[in-house]
Structure 1
Amino acid sequence: MNKMHTFQFVFYFLALNLLCTPSAAAADGSTRTKHSNRVKGIIGAIIDESSRIGKEERLAMEIAAEDFYSHSKQSLTLHIHDSQGDPIRAALAAKELIDTQEVEAILGLQTWEEVSVIADTSNQSQVPILSFADTIPKWAAKKWPFLLQASPNKYDQMKAVAAIVQSWNWHQVTVLYEDSMAGGVIPYLYDALREVGADIRQIISLSPFAAASSLSEDLEALQREQFRVFIVHASLSLAARLFEIANKLKMMEQDYVWITTDPITSLVHSINASIINSMQGIVGVKSYFPETGQCFKDFYKRFRRRFSTQHPEEDNNEPGIFAVQAYDALRTMALAINETNFGGQELLTKYHDLSGKIQFINQEVAPKYTFEIINIMGKSYRELGFWSNGFGFSKTIGKGANYTSSMNDYHVLWPGGPRDTPRGWTIRTSDNPLRIGVPTMSGYTEYVNVQQDRLGNNLSFTGFAIDVFHATLERLPFCLPYKFVPFNGNSYNELVKQIHLKNFDAVVGDVSIFSNRYKHAEFTHPYTETGLMLIVPTRSTSCSAWLFMKPFTKSMWVLIAAINIYNGFVVWLIERNHCNDLRGSLLNQIGVLLWLSFTTLFSLTGEKLHSNLSRMSMVVWLFVALVITQTYTANLASVLTVQRLEPIELNNSAKVGYCTGSYIKDYLVDVLGYDQNRLRTYSSIDAYAQALKNKEIAAAFLEAPLAKVFLAKYCKGFVKVGPTYKVGGFGFAFPRGSPLLASMNEALLKVSESGKLLELENSMVPSNQCRDRDIDLDDENPSLGPSCFRILFILTGATSTLALVSYVLLKANSMLKHKSIWRLMLAVMKHWRFQKKHFTRRVSNAEIHGNSPPDALHPV
């Protein structure tokens, strides 16, 4: 194959030198003179008459020349040369057409290789080329202004192919293309697929001269792959051989998807019965042209009659899109060169012909925005619908068409017969199980533990991650054979990279989901908590001088003082007429009021009262005081007896540990701004604990699932502090675009929703161990606030207020019985003086006789 490419390159080089000789390209002056002396109406064509396309193009151009003469009565000479698909023959034919037959334009040239060989000569001779090649690079139009593309660019057709792939949610496809006609189609297909979330898994280049053994080897290699969606872009002759071999290899059966492009699909009408039997179930994208109008009907009749006569070996005599394009191209060029202002490069911008309106934009025929979707079945094909750029799929075209974004409700006959839509990938078998990488460098054996038996023959894989993976597989709707393969690398990044290198089909273990790893693989939903936690040692707190204030908050203390003073005032006001000790000087009465307020709170022994109003207030007051004092005593005892721990504060130079082989180092340096010199790496829980106890490090950053295991094992001397940084979580890794990913995510959700995930986690961290200390230490014995006692405070306050209001109303009612308020006030003042004077005399007499004063709360 390499020798053939070298041979072709040598002939391309010789042909270019031949075409660029003075005999082929004269000086500017002579060229212009020769061109100006040419007779109008001479057009050349270079086609491959050994192919069905070339046969249709020749006959279509002959009919177009006849129609042009019959309508315009102007002579038109058509010179057609056969290249037989060889660029060298095409180059020699172009030299003869330009130099000998002095054509004014050249049509044909089905491949980009043919166009590139003669484009320079055409440009120097100012002879326009109207090419039928699939795709001409954008830069070619700038380099060769006399080069025009007669067939629409295939980019929109690649969009139609991508839309079909998207309709059935296929994410990985394999492309097989003929290297002699790929041109710029593959980049267009790649871009179109990426826009719909799909990717090209593999690209297979096929030589048009490939032997059957070579094609068989390529297909057998694809047969061993898991993915089953194939896009074929090749000539009909190569595609026919390809599908015959695929049919023999049973690759045209269930689970396989084949999508074809032009020129295969547009020539389906010409395929014989033996070949089409090997193509059953293929879905194809076909260039669409309206087969209506009297002009087309006349062309159709004449074409079929003459084609069957000229080519009796062909089974079908119907014209296809290539015949229509050739007819339109010749008519367009013939009309253009007969315009009075035609100067070689200029073409009319608009015409109406068999395929509708013809328009050139940037040296290309305006793109066709509608394509026909067909399904090969039986002896021919059937029309599934249409795809239009910007609109989507429709089962009809024109006015009244109903467009949708998907064709998943279209009835398609897939390879292997009627059945559900293929998944686009095949389930692994026991002969070809999934190779699943498992890390051996993990220091967290609770999550993943790889051990070898004593004889060194067998490996055991255990741990939480392994258990979750097994539980997930049990909920898949299909059996998934696999085998664990230990990975002895140095980092988890290397482990994930093995998927991209195709050494592993998946990775299971304590692998964190991190954005940088998505360039190598994709991940399931995390099966653990997400986040990064900071773990530090704890130390006992010292006893504070104000520790006795700790049971209540400041607002609680203020409220207690206020409600006691208020209750004392109410009792004092009501009982003062019955107790001499509640009278006296202002200072004395204030002291008595405060004493009355707080002795009740702490002694809880109310004195004998004389008024029912004060008794009512005192009863509720004593109940509230009982609750408050008992609560204070209990909370203070807890504060004094329970050991208090507090986290050790970090300084700017403290050393910090992180997990070996983890992405945490990059996160600490790039995001949190830690100096690399402060970081230390450890590989196990015990190593962390020992380093923290020995003060090698002051703290450790652990991922949330690992921190849970650490705190469960070392719960007495360590605590989580600060925020939980929202990163990562553990997940299973699969290749990018893996068809298994969606099924695994669904099964993993079922594991979580069923409670199995929690059960496995509890078995990893037994319930009899300490719980994670994921709380604020200051909240272990929180100070009690007013909200805890608001009902009691409202009750006692309302009771005292009710007693106070009742007392005031009774006094007011008593005063109203007097005729004069003034007299009442004088009587009160006299009574006050008398009481004071009498009380002073009694105290003096008592002191003289050595008797004690009367009880403060008992009347005289």
Structure 2
Amino acid sequence: MERTTRFFLFVYSCFVLAAAAAAQNGSRNSTAAFHVGVILDLGTLVGKMGSTSISMAVEDFYAMHGNYTSRIVFHAKDSKSDVIQAASAALDLIENSEVEVIIGPQKSSQAAFVAELGDRSQVPIISFSATSPTLTSSLIPYFVRTTLNDSSQVNSISSIIKAYGWREVVLIYEDTDYGRGVIPILVNALQGIDTRVPYHSVIPVSATDDQIMEELYKLMTMQTRVFIVHVSSFMGSRLFLNAKEAGMMTGGFVWIMSDGLANIIDSLDPSVIESMQGTLGVKLYVPKTRKLDDFTTRWKRRFQQDHPNDQQAELSIFALWAYDTVWAVAMAAEKIGIKVASFRKPRIVPNSTVLETLGASMNGPKLLKAILESRFKGLSGEFYLIDRQLRSSIFQIINVVGKGERGIGFWTPEYGISKQLNNTKGYSTLITDLNTVIWPGDYNAVPKGWEMPVSGKKLRIGVPVTQGFPHLMNVETDPVTNSTMGNGYCIDVFETVIKKLRYSIPYEYIPFKTIQGELGGSYNDLTYQVYLQKYDAVVGDVTIRHNRSLYVDFTLPFTESGVSMIVPVADGTKKNAWVFLKPLTLDLWLGSLAFVIYTGFVIWVMEHRINTDFRGPFSQQLGTIFFFSFSTLVFSHREKIENILSKFVVIVWVFVVLVLTSSYTASLTSMLTVQQLQPTVTDVHELLKHGDYVGYHKGSFVEGLLKQLNFDESKLRAYETTGEYFEALSKGSQNGGVSAIVHEIPYIKLFLAEHCTGFTMIGPIYKTAGFGFVFPKGSPLVPDVSRAILNLTDGDSILQIERKWFGDQNACLKQGSIISSDNLSFRNFWGLFMITGVVSTCALFIFLLMFLHKNWHELKGIDSNKPIWQRIGSWARYYNNKDMNSYTFRADGPYNTSPATNSKYGDVADPEATTCENSPNQQGFLMTDSDATHYPPVEESSSGEITRIAA
């Protein structure tokens, strides 16, 4: 009865206003009535706000535009929140009242029906509150939305989720077109930021408080604590009142409202606002203006007059949109100058339905075009329609605190999240770009968005049952309680990590085994149980693999990664008669020999002219070159060197020889006295080449890896325990064992810790990511556990766990490691050889330059007319025959002044030493028998001394 009374009051007020306007302009005969229908849910808060704004809008418009010839006349209908009632009201307005425009209906479900009627009758349907994205304007061209599409807010909501780093959210929405419409778009936006939606909580509009409470308790049994609420004001009030009663408005919970509820938060009952403390929301931002402030004051007063029995409401965006809609319609009516309503009626045939007899407005197309082209500065901001709906704008992010809301930031399509609207830093989704939030329970700390269910349900942790490596993973069953207990390195790491979390997690171990107590399958099968939801997680020596990650999520690894080989080692040195050659490789032997010859040659060139020790027959000089260089190896040589450049070359060469001999002695000593342990296999391809048998751990993925490497299945043998490894490797491939065991590095280190001698690790031959804990896809535990693993591995805790289960691995690994003395190669000493080579070459080059400078005039005249190759030979002979400044000869018989063939040159008959000081060409050499064939005859002076050599 009360609703009916209010409805008639609203209709009466509209007619009174229209009559007053007509009376005011009664002198103007050209004034025409423009009939507009209004369909609202007058029993709802939005409907009441809309009715007040509509009546004020028509008053304000014609008060400002008194000279306009058209006057809006409203025909109001109450749809009573019913779809059929809204459709019936629209039919009545079009058929009987012949309205040119219908403002409304209020809800999206109603608008879907009414828009079809408007399309059929060419009457524009303008809604300021139907926000569902399912209302596609391209399918219903006469439907105009002077409000925002719900899809325009999804990016602002997803930006909040991304800023706080929440990985899972639950969507709570009502089971209506409004509630369901935006959900697919919102889910896509959340998936775009890698956030899962594990559950949709759909609440029927007819749900009782008990049913709402039952749904809330269901949510409390889940892990996710972030809820996005997309409901109407009526449903939202009931939801939050029940949520507070259920204890879900306390610390750890996150509630985010869509704009449908956030836009009218200040108009809700104080008890509802009290129950919403700490929630977040997004709402359209309306800039503050003086005009808006004046209107707000008038609107509150008018609303109290129109609805005296209701509590005082605050002006919302819906009321502003209703106000601006009336202005757009009034301007469009004046623009096209409608004087009389004109409907084209169809031909009535027997048994026609109401829809078939519905007329079509002749003014509709022009009126629709005028409305769509409307653009003005309204109370809600810029009124500008794109694709028959209001353009997206700025959203404000609010936090419900105290008796109302407080802004904590803004979101714009261009810049994302920001504290102020003048942001120019670029698009942001950072938490630092939001002000501090007061969360439910009056907490300042950001909720992590995930908690263990309050139902006390334990996490079901699947663990593998293996006997091969109990230090890594061991599972036992308590005979009294029949509960599963785990121990070992992996168990200790997991339990230490759980203790480092900021929250407690109850869990229980469930062995993955058969009835016979054996492993229930491969490790691929074990991880797949998490995907099948048999386990909530898996803890053990489970390697992170790509094929497994397709079904589950892994934490960060907590062990070293890689696949290597265990192979036997043996003494690789053959101590035979030629062992003294092994310290140096062939290239070093040859290189040393080459530098010995080169260094001797350089010394000979520089000493030959001035040092008698480097002269004589060719064979003698060649021997001197080799003997001098080789004698330097033992730091003893009889030849004295006189040239300063030669001395510098010898100093450098002696240093090189010192290093070479010391290295050779050390290497030879090591080979003769130390056992040289060498791996029997150094490359996995050797195993393939020789057709050896290869072992692997039973149930491990390594079997598939070996098959990928083209190992024949018949050559593969599976083992479980370290004892079986030892026995198989000891036998060898030829005696029923294997030549190598291929396994992951953590297992190999355990084996070598037990068997310190006789084996070594080769590799890694294949890269893996190490061991990780297994959780379902998108589990919020993964990032927290991964961070705890990083915290554990960065400190000493992990070392203590390793020492507990593995002991001092380094001591054993050193005993079982390879002791080798590699042959010395030329590459080890190339720097030394480069130094001595450069020094020798530079000294030789300097010497030759000095010689050419001193003897250039003599050289230039020698055989100047002969070819170059003959001149080079003559120059070489000149260099070889050039006199010294003073020569000493001894005589042992008479001299012959003719060309001598039998005399001994350089052996003068006089036993006393004489000096050839007056010889014209000052040759500086000592003649011997062999020189007689190369040099001119000696002439004797009257005193018996040799004075010259005949030309």
TM-score, normalization: structure 2? 0.71
Q: Tell me, in whole angstroms, the C-alpha distance in 2 between the residues paired with 1:585 and 1:300.
A: 125
Residue pair 1:434, 1:506 contacting (<8 A) in 2 also: yes
Q: Tell me, in whole angstroms, the C-alpha distance in 2 between the residues paired with 1:772 and 1:171.
A: 49
Residue pair 2:114, 2:125 contacting (<8 A) in 1 also: no
Q: Does 1:46 align with 2:82?
A: no
Amino acid of the structure 2 residue aligned with 1:222: L
Name the SS for the 2:180 alignment partner.
coil
Equivalent residue number for residue 342 of structure 2: none
Residue pair 2:564, 2:764 contacting (<8 A) in 1 also: yes
* Segment of structure 1 superposing worse, 279-288 or 234-243: 279-288
Query: Offset at 1:62?
Result: 2.8
Equivalent residue number for residue 524 of structure 1: 555
Provide closer, same or farther for how the CA distance between residues 268 and 700 of structure 1 changes in structure 2, counting only shifts above 3 A. Answer: same
Query: Offset at 1:131?
Result: 3.3
Q: Tell me, in whole angstroms, the C-alpha distance in 1 between the residues paired with 2:753 and 2:415.
A: 59
User: How is 1:338-377 mapped onto 2 (pairs within 5 angstroms)?
Assistant: 338-340=334-336, 343=365, 345-346=368-369, 347-352=371-376, 353-367=378-392, 369-377=393-401
Query: Offset at 1:729?
Result: 1.5
Q: Does 1:483 align with 2:508?
A: yes
Name the SS for the 1:420 alignment partner.
coil
Equivalent residue number for residue 217 of structure 1: 214
Q: Does 1:422 align with 2:447?
A: yes
Residue pair 1:654, 1:678 contacting (<8 A) in 2 also: no
Equivalent residue number for residue 728 of structure 1: 769
Provide closer, same or farther for how the CA distance between residues 456 and 834 of structure 1 changes in structure 2, counting only shifts above 3 A. Answer: same
User: How is 1:169-188 mapped onto 2 (pairs within 5 angstroms)?
Assistant: 169-180=165-176, 181-188=178-185
Q: Does 1:282 align with 2:313?
A: no
Q: Tell me, in whole angstroms, the C-alpha distance in 1 between the residues paired with 2:409 and 2:651.
A: 90
Query: Offset at 1:550?
Result: 3.3
Amino acid of the structure 1 residue aligned with 2:107: T
Amino acid of the structure 2 residue aligned with 1:186: I
Q: Tell me, in whole angstroms, the C-alpha distance in 2 between the residues paired with 1:247 and 1:207.
A: 20
Q: Tell me, in whole angstroms, the C-alpha distance in 1 between the residues paired with 2:611 and 2:335.
A: 132
Query: Offset at 1:206?
Result: 0.8
Name the SS for the 1:767 alignment partner.
helix
Q: Does 1:823 align with 2:848?
A: no
Q: Does 1:162 align with 2:158?
A: yes
Provide closer, same or farther for how the CA distance between residues 835 and 606 of structure 1 changes in structure 2, counting only shifts above 3 A. Answer: farther
Larger CA Rg, structure 1 vs 2: 2
Q: Provide, for residues 306-334 of structure 1, a one-character-per-residue CA deviation record: whole Å limited to 9, x for no partner.
A: 32123223211433111111222233234
Q: Say which structure, 1 or 2, has more relative contact order (CA 8 Å, 6+ apart).
A: 1
Provide closer, same or farther for how the CA distance between residues 108 and 643 of structure 1 changes in structure 2, counting only shifts above 3 A. Answer: same
Q: Tell me, in whole angstroms, the C-alpha distance in 2 between the residues paired with 1:460 and 1:498.
A: 20
Q: Provide, for residues 247-303 of structure 1, a one-character-per-residue CA deviation record: whole Å limited to 9, x for no partner.
A: 122222222222212322112222122222222222222222235253x45643443
Name the SS for the 2:476 alignment partner.
strand
Query: Offset at 1:619?
Result: 10
Q: Does 1:632 align with 2:664?
A: yes
Of 402, 405, 428, the residue aligned with 1:381 is 405
Amino acid of the structure 1 residue aligned with 2:676: V
Name the SS for the 1:76 alignment partner.
strand
Provide closer, same or farther for how the CA distance between residues 804 and 177 of structure 1 changes in structure 2, counting only shifts above 3 A. Answer: closer
Query: Offset at 1:232?
Result: 1.2
Count of residue correspondences:
791
Equivalent residue number for residue 824 of structure 2: 783
Q: Tell me, in whole angstroms, the C-alpha distance in 2 between the residues paired with 1:221 and 1:471.
A: 31
Q: Does 1:745 align with 2:786?
A: yes
Q: Provide, for residues 361-397 of structure 1, a one-character-per-residue CA deviation record: whole Å limited to 9, x for no partner.
A: 2222222x21222222333333334322222344555
Q: Provide, for residues 431-450 of structure 1, a one-character-per-residue CA deviation record: whole Å limited to 9, x for no partner.
A: 55544332225854332121
Equivalent residue number for residue 876 of structure 2: none
Provide closer, same or farther for how the CA distance between residues 310 and 567 of structure 1 changes in structure 2, counting only shifts above 3 A. Answer: closer
Q: Does 1:457 align with 2:482?
A: yes
Query: Offset at 1:245?
Result: 1.5
Query: Offset at 1:86?
Result: 1.8
* Segment of structure 1 superposing worse, 515-524 or 572-581: 572-581
Equivalent residue number for residue 234 of structure 1: 231
Q: Tell me, in whole angstroms, the C-alpha distance in 2 between the residues paired with 1:44 and 1:665.
A: 77
Query: Offset at 1:501?
Result: 5.2
Provide closer, same or farther for how the CA distance between residues 61 and 511 of structure 1 changes in structure 2, counting only shifts above 3 A. Answer: same
Equivalent residue number for residue 30 of structure 1: none
Of 317, 321, 325, the residue aligned with 2:317 is 321
Query: Offset at 1:186?
Result: 1.5
Residue identity over aligned pairs, in percent, reads: 33
Name the SS for the 1:90 alignment partner.
helix
Provide closer, same or farther for how the CA distance between residues 138 and 246 of structure 1 changes in structure 2, counting only shifts above 3 A. Answer: closer
Query: Offset at 1:132?
Result: 4.1
Amino acid of the structure 2 residue aligned with 1:436: I
Amino acid of the structure 1 residue aligned with 2:200: I
Query: Offset at 1:547?
Result: 6.7
Query: Offset at 1:564?
Result: 4.0
Q: Tell me, in whole angstroms, the C-alpha distance in 2 between the residues paired with 1:770 and 1:297.
A: 82
Q: Provide, for residues 558-599 of structure 1, a one-character-per-residue CA deviation record: whole Å limited to 9, x for no partner.
A: 343245446766898999999999876322443465356546
Equivalent residue number for residue 59 of structure 1: 52
Q: Tell me, in whole angstroms, the C-alpha distance in 2 between the residues paired with 1:781 and 1:111.
A: 86
Query: Offset at 1:177?
Result: 0.9
Provide closer, same or farther for how the CA distance between residues 650 and 817 of structure 1 changes in structure 2, counting only shifts above 3 A. Answer: same
Q: Tell me, in whole angstroms, the C-alpha distance in 2 between the residues paired with 1:520 and 1:217.
A: 32
Residue pair 2:52, 2:306 contacting (<8 A) in 1 also: no
Equivalent residue number for residue 764 of structure 1: 806
Residue pair 1:393, 1:404 contacting (<8 A) in 2 also: yes
Residue pair 1:430, 1:481 contacting (<8 A) in 2 also: no
User: How is 1:101-140 mapped onto 2 (pairs within 5 angstroms)?
Assistant: 101-132=97-128, 134-137=130-133, 140=136
Of 705, 716, 720, the residue aligned with 1:684 is 720
Equivalent residue number for residue 78 of structure 2: 82
Residue pair 1:266, 1:321 contacting (<8 A) in 2 also: yes
Residue pair 1:60, 1:326 contacting (<8 A) in 2 also: yes
Provide closer, same or farther for how the CA distance between residues 539 and 338 of structure 1 changes in structure 2, counting only shifts above 3 A. Answer: farther
* Segment of structure 1 superposing worse, 336-345 or 123-132: 336-345
Q: Tell me, in whole angstroms, the C-alpha distance in 1 between the residues paired with 2:916 and 2:452.
A: 109
Residue pair 2:757, 2:815 contacting (<8 A) in 1 also: no
Q: Tell me, in whole angstroms, the C-alpha distance in 2 between the residues paired with 1:615 and 1:446.
A: 67
Name the SS for the 2:822 alignment partner.
coil
Of 77, 91, 97, the residue aligned with 1:95 is 91
Provide closer, same or farther for how the CA distance between residues 591 and 175 of structure 1 changes in structure 2, counting only shifts above 3 A. Answer: same
Amino acid of the structure 2 residue aligned with 1:485: I
Query: Offset at 1:473?
Result: 4.0
Q: Does 1:331 align with 2:327?
A: yes
Residue pair 2:256, 2:280 contacting (<8 A) in 1 also: yes
Provide closer, same or farther for how the CA distance between residues 306 and 605 of structure 1 changes in structure 2, counting only shifts above 3 A. Answer: closer
Query: Offset at 1:726?
Result: 3.4
Name the SS for the 1:483 alignment partner.
strand
Equivalent residue number for residue 472 of structure 1: 497
Q: Does 1:832 align with 2:927?
A: yes
Amino acid of the structure 2 residue aligned with 1:832: M
Equivalent residue number for residue 11 of structure 1: none
Amino acid of the structure 1 residue aligned with 2:410: F
Q: Tell me, in whole angstroms, the C-alpha distance in 2 between the residues paired with 1:696 and 1:45.
A: 92
Query: Offset at 1:403?
Result: 9.4
> For structure 2, which runs of at least 5 residues remain unmatched after alignment?
1-31, 337-362, 514-519, 852-879, 888-914, 933-951
Q: Tell me, in whole angstroms, the C-alpha distance in 1 between the residues paired with 2:379 and 2:651.
A: 108
Q: Tell me, in whole angstroms, the C-alpha distance in 1 between the residues paired with 2:323 and 2:609.
A: 126
Q: Does 1:556 align with 2:549?
A: no
Q: Tell me, in whole angstroms, the C-alpha distance in 2 between the residues paired with 1:560 and 1:650.
A: 37
Amino acid of the structure 1 residue aligned with 2:445: D
Provide closer, same or farther for how the CA distance between residues 651 and 169 of structure 1 changes in structure 2, counting only shifts above 3 A. Answer: closer
Q: Tell me, in whole angstroms, the C-alpha distance in 2 between the residues paired with 1:827 and 1:373.
A: 108
Equivalent residue number for residue 642 of structure 1: 676
Residue pair 2:409, 2:420 contacting (<8 A) in 1 also: yes
Provide closer, same or farther for how the CA distance between residues 628 and 484 of structure 1 changes in structure 2, counting only shifts above 3 A. Answer: same
